[in-house]
Amino acid sequence: MKRFMLLLIVAVAAFVLLLPGCKKNDSSQSSNVALTKEAPENTAAGVLWSYPSRWTKGAPRQMRVVTYVIPAAEGDAEPGECAVSYFGSGAGGDAEMNIMRWSSQFEGSPSPVRKDDKISGMNVVKVQISGSYLAPAGPMMAATGKKDNFRLHGVIVEAPEGKLFFKFTGPAKTVEGAGAELDALIGSLTKK
């Protein structure tokens, strides 16, 4: 029981320190992706966004603003998932800590491909990680199983009210096939 309580305290403390935000791209690319607008799920941290019309909203989950389910690409066994999280002003940790955490969720902690950008005047960090995903059950939790040939496209936005996180994971073909859709979502970010 004592060990369980210690693990619970460590997990809660780590969670409070680790998660955040997003907005519209100053270096925006033109896109033909159809986006939909709905509130209140498409707003957090002082920004609004639209999401691709072929994405669907998943069931509500703790510590998430919304979870989008992305249809599996032909030949992939499961759909992708884009989790949007906001933990409040000053919470969620810095970009480097979150990138390291995301990388540690892959076997061997591969080096991510990183790109810094600006969207609607907000600093944005985009990362891509590929490999065998260890499928954590939640922030700072043990893996539920290894998933080979997976990708993570993560976006951390320094929004007006704190960091907003977009974490898109799934089979490589599904994530790559929906890359333009994620870019369109991020490009739609605007301050409230």
The CATH number linked to 142 is 3.40.1000.10
- Burial-class residue 109 by CB neighbours within 10 Å (0-12, 13-18, 19+): middle
Q: What's the mean pLDDT when you consider all of the chain?
A: 83
Q: Which of 78, 66, 64, 79 is nearest to 138 (CA)?
A: 64
Over residues 44-53, the mean pLDDT reads 95
What pLDDT, on the 0 to 100 scale, is given for residue 34? 74
H/E stretch holding 3: helix 2-18
Strands 113-119 and 80-86: unpaired
Range of the domain at 26: 2-191
Q: Which residue has the higher pLDDT, 17 or 87?
A: 87
The pTM of the full predicted model, rounded to 2 decimals, is: 0.79
Phi and psi dihedrals of 105, rounded to 5? -85, 5
Give the pLDDT confidence of 88-137 residue by residue, as tens digits. Answer: 888 888 999 999 999 999 999 999 999 999 999 999 999 999 999 997 75
What pLDDT, on the 0 to 100 scale, is given for residue 143? 54
Please check whether residue 110 is in contact with residue 130, taking contact to mean a CB–CB distance below 8 angstroms.
yes
Q: Is residue 59 pLDDT above 80, yes or no?
A: yes
CA 116 to centroid of chain Cα atoms: 15
What pLDDT, on the 0 to 100 scale, is given for residue 14? 38
What pLDDT, on the 0 to 100 scale, is given for residue 155? 98
Number of structural domains in the chain: 1
What pLDDT, on the 0 to 100 scale, is given for residue 95? 94
What pLDDT, on the 0 to 100 scale, is given for residue 17? 35
Please report which confidence band the pLDDT of residue 20 belongs to, taking 50, 70 and 90 as the band edges: very low
Neighbours of 144 (CB within 10 A): 11
Give the pLDDT confidence of 23-36 residue by residue, as tens digits. Answer: 333 443 435 677 77
Query: Distance between CA 127 and CA 94 in Å, rounded?
Result: 14
